[in-house]
Amino acid sequence: MIKMVISKPNWSKSHPLNSIVLMYDAIEHKLVYADHYEQTTTEIDYPADEGMLIDDWKVGHAHSFAGRPQYCADILNYWILNQPLDHIQWDNFYDQDDFTYYYPLDKMIEQLCEEVPKYDSMFNEKTFIKFHKDFVNAFGELESNGIGVNTDFTKIFGEHMLKYINNKKIYQNYNFFTTTSRPSNSIHHLNFAALTQEQRKAFSPLNDVFVEFDFESYHPRLIAKLTDYDFGNSSVYGKLADDLGVTESEAKTITFQNLYGGVRKNIAKMSEFFRGVEDLVKVFYDEYMTRNRILTHIYKRPMKRDNLGDLNAQKLFNYYIQAYETERNVTILNKIHTYLLERKTNIVHYNYDSFLFDYSKEDGKETIHDIQKILQKDDFIIHSKVGNTYGTLKNYEF
């Protein structure tokens, strides 16, 4: 396994100023590449026709390694053990730029060799490779796009953030090594998944305007797909309000309570949708307890009892739905990346049920309409907003 050290380990690994300082084969105990003050190599010392097992998918996505195929041990570790691979943890003391360039080479190599994982578990190679490829591309391309910032950025987040800006962009940190694969997104004490309205005003388009699309009632509609229940084009909460004899606002509250806290018997009696949810919770739990694992809906990633423990039925259901949401979004992100490949418009942020685009008018309105079609596939309903900052988006229907 080739373990790697980058020049700015506390920065986004997708940042253009981040470079590789060291590549070391921790199994063969061999230096593969170095750009360090103690030693420098001009080329990667590794067979050109062999794939490389590396320890960090983000570094691999940011660097081509002269076209060698890459296999990421951190993703394999997640697939088998449902947890991230351990990396060197640099103390906050080492926040100086490029400190790894001067950090003693033998000390770094010693730390890289401290723990080299071995995997005895059998796994489905075909489904794993598909997961590996799609998740790396979806989140790697999204991170590498960056997101535009304006002059309010340092006013809101502090002058210390100035050094992370490159070409008017800041780079994010999507981490899908979570229990459900739903990514966290936090870096430099900035949590992109929990920005306030005021903080969002620090982000601006580098093209013409921000366009955001978000799914309406995403989880209920995802669950409806699993239970073969059809909400059609009607409002989810409007339909459930009719079933339950309450207002739409009350139906929304009841929906969240019963989806994430367990379906109450009186609710199941009144609603076909919730009866389907109740049955699905039981099916998932029976499979988990009988087979000691459950496979996620799209990529068939094993969520193992050995790794997750004896979850109760409701928590397992919640985990499964979050995984389904994320996997569906990964397929959407990859379609969007492919579609935008030769356009100026970029997708610059993703947050569970919403997708933010830095739209260029040069691409024409058909670009917006085509993106809508990608998101609306399988009869999902979306809404759109536009604005000159992320914090000033207004409803706008194209």
Average pLDDT over residues 46-50: 90
Contact of 81 with 27, CB cutoff 8 Å: no
| Side-chain-facing half-sphere of 1: CA atoms under 13 Å | 22
pLDDT of amino acid 121? 63
pLDDT of amino acid 5? 94
Burial class (CB in 10 A: 0-12, 13-18, 19+), 146: buried
pLDDT at 91 > cutoff 70: no
pLDDT of amino acid 114? 82
Tokens of 222: 């995802």
Q: Would strands 52-54 and 70-72 be described as parallel, antiparallel, or unpaired? A: parallel
Query: CB under 8 Å, gap of 24 or more: what pairs does 358-363 form?
Result: 358/145, 358/147, 358/148, 358/205, 358/206, 358/207, 358/210, 359/205, 359/207, 359/208, 359/209, 359/210, 359/211, 360/207, 360/208, 361/207, 361/208, 361/209
Span of 59-73, 201-215, 256-270, 365-379 with lowest mean pLDDT = 59-73
Contact of 90 with 103, CB cutoff 8 Å: no
Name residues whose C-beta falls within 8 Å of residue 363's C-beta, 6 or more positions apart in sequence: 343, 344, 345
Tens-digit pLDDT profile for residues 314-342: 999 999 999 999 999 999 999 999 999 99
Tens-digit pLDDT profile for residues 117-135: 777 666 778 899 999 999 9
Residue 262 and residue 265: Cα distance in Å, rounded?
A: 9
Helices 248-261 and 313-339: angle between axes, nearest 10 degrees: 110
- Cα R_g (the chain), whole angstroms: 23
Helix (H) or strand (E) holding 97: none
pLDDT at 93 > cutoff 70: no
pLDDT at 92 > cutoff 60: no
pLDDT of amino acid 10? 87
Please state, for a pLDDT cut of 90, what percent of the chain lies above it: 87
Span of 42-46, 292-296, 330-334, 355-359 with lowest mean pLDDT = 42-46
Q: How confident is the model at residue 115 (pLDDT cuts 50, 70, 90)?
A: confident
Burial class (CB in 10 A: 0-12, 13-18, 19+), 78: buried
Tens-digit pLDDT profile for residues 72-87: 999 999 999 999 888 8
Span of 16-20, 86-90, 368-372 with lowest mean pLDDT = 86-90
pLDDT of amino acid 95? 61
pLDDT at 166 > cutoff 70: yes
Contact of 156 with 199, CB cutoff 8 Å: yes
